[in-house]
Amino acid sequence: MRKSSCLVLVGFALILTAPCAHAISLADLISTNGSITVDGMDFSGFSLNVVLASNGAAPTSPSVIDVASVTINSEAGLRFTSNFTAPAPNGQLSLNMSYTVNVLSPGMVLSNMTLTGDPSGPVNSPSGGGEVFSTTSAGNTLLSRVGGPAQTHGVFQTSQTSLVVNTRMDLAAGGAPGPVVPATFSFLNETFSQTAIPEPNTLLLFLTGVVGLASAHRLRS
């Protein structure tokens, strides 16, 4: 009986201490200058600017955008969830979201970023479509779009400890003569990989080994 009771208690302890991602509205993050910490990274400085909302497209309020931590394929970051929609026919919605990500763990740097989403809408139609561009201060531009090639993963040319991410969403619903369908996104994931900076002693040993191998190669020649 004691052993069974212990197992039950351990089970409850694991449930209570298991990590879980709680969503918070983008409005709360903006109004309180709040931040989200995920896997040794701090996300802060959130902002939202609605550029265009026409033909029935309601301006997307930050209060209806939920932000939560997410981990996908060992990359951690943020998920933005809402009903981003340009209604048919000919609705248009454009907005900009931005934030800053800082690495908190000493000796770690950001090495790349991945953008994923679920765009839907008119495909290969001049009258509509849906796409998201994420541009980083490291010079990368990632793209997720309907009916076309998507660059959803970008490696930073130089490792970053602090990064500003600007995300532009452009949605245009279909209308005659094209297919009359809305353009939507229901979520966006923006995740990051971290790598360790080699310690000075480790780097020195590595360089010494490279020089030694090069010298041995010259002697053999």
Order the strands of the 92-103 sheet from edge to edge. Answer: 36-38, 41-54, 92-103, 162-172, 129-136, 141-145
Give 29-85 as a DSSP string: HHHTT--EEETTEEEEEEEEEEEEEETTPPP--GGG-EEEEEEETTEEEEEEEEEEE
How many C-beta atoms surround the C-beta of residue 20 within 10 A? Answer: 6
CA gap 3, 7 in Å, rounded: 6
The DSSP element (H or E) to which 13 belongs, if any, is helix 2-17
Q: What is the pLDDT of residue 85?
A: 93
pTM of the prediction? 0.80
Q: What is the pLDDT of residue 146?
A: 79
C-alpha closest to that of 62 among 80, 85, 36, 88: 80
Q: What is the pLDDT of residue 124?
A: 54
Given a contact cutoff of 8 angstroms between Cβ atoms, the answer to whether 181 and 171 are in contact is no
**pLDDT tens digits, 31-82:** 999 999 999 999 999 999 999 999 999 989 999 999 999 999 999 999 999 9
Q: What is the pLDDT of residue 100?
A: 98
Q: What is the pLDDT of residue 125?
A: 55
Which regions in the chain score pLDDT beneath 50?
A: 1-20, 202-206
Map out the domains of the chain as residue ranges: 21-208
Q: What is the pLDDT of residue 6?
A: 42
Cis peptide before 19 (omega within 30 of 0): no
